[in-house]
Structure 1
Amino acid sequence: MSKIYFVKKYLAIGLIAFGLFGCSSPSVNQYAQETPKLDLSEYFNGTIDAYGIFTDRSGEVKKRFTVLLVAKWSVVNGKKTGILDESFEYSDGTKQKRIWTLVETAPGKYTGTADDVIGEAIGESAGNALNWSYTLALPVDKSIYHVQFDDWMYLVSPKVMINKAQMSKFGINLGEVTLSFYKR
């Protein structure tokens, strides 16, 4: 075997490895030093207004919506537990309700359930960021699709949080939800 063959082989392996690692998503821990520090039970407590859009893969806005969120926390079975009652109103006139139950399982670690969430949402926070992963039963026309969400929230100020969520099915990007939360 020639030297050129081995150089090409190792160069190809290096490029493949770079491509795989280059596509990895960020870790919530990289935001650990960012401020203001996000305390989920503090921010999602009371009344919050949210304004959002759904964009498809090409970036075209397909839906606009508002959310009225009323949240409260208590201690249940020794764990901080939050109820987030979300009322959605879409630009096409449709309305939707989602009630989340969030449980802090350890410092910075959360689980979440809702009627249209398949199984449990798993969340982790550090610094000003929170990352959720979950599968949502999404109604589209007269069908229900199970889509995966990679959901990131960033506390910008004590009253404002920005939320970006990538939606996918079978690993294929379907679009993105962008929300701006404002705590009253």
Structure 2
Amino acid sequence: MLTLIIVAFIVNVTGTFLGRISAIIEERREVYTVYPSLIDMIGDVGSVIGSTATTRLALGLINPSLRELKKLREHILGSWLSSLIILTTLSATSLVLNGLFETTHFAWLTSILIIVDIIAVSLILCISFLVSILTFKRSLDPDNFVIPIESSLADSITTLSLLLALLLIPG
């Protein structure tokens, strides 16, 4: 029940941010095209780290401490590199589908997506790991908390990161 309340609150916040960002990007259909994939991918990266952390905590391979995040370095790096490859592909695909593929457009959209990735993935990784630790320390089932909270927050954080990236690098 607690998870449901937390997720419902987060979803409402995300909807509010999406409404605000829509006014900024209504003319940027290439951004609208990648948005669903972007929020899903950021959430997936957080889920990989959250699941890895909860499994390692349960097996006693890591201690419930933020310092232990460094022990997930290979998983984090692999997930992040995968996301960068996917973002580059998404950028090209969106531009082709919208008839906008030019080198300058590709560089702009890819830069936007990479900035979003850096900001959002950094925050989501920390949140996933922190929720994993907190649920483990309280002897709660992390599967009931980590992924639902992380996935919902990923949507909000990705949306805010996209807004920030668009403000930093106007098209």
TM-score (norm. length: structure 1): 0.26
Larger radius of gyration: 1
Greater helix proportion: 2
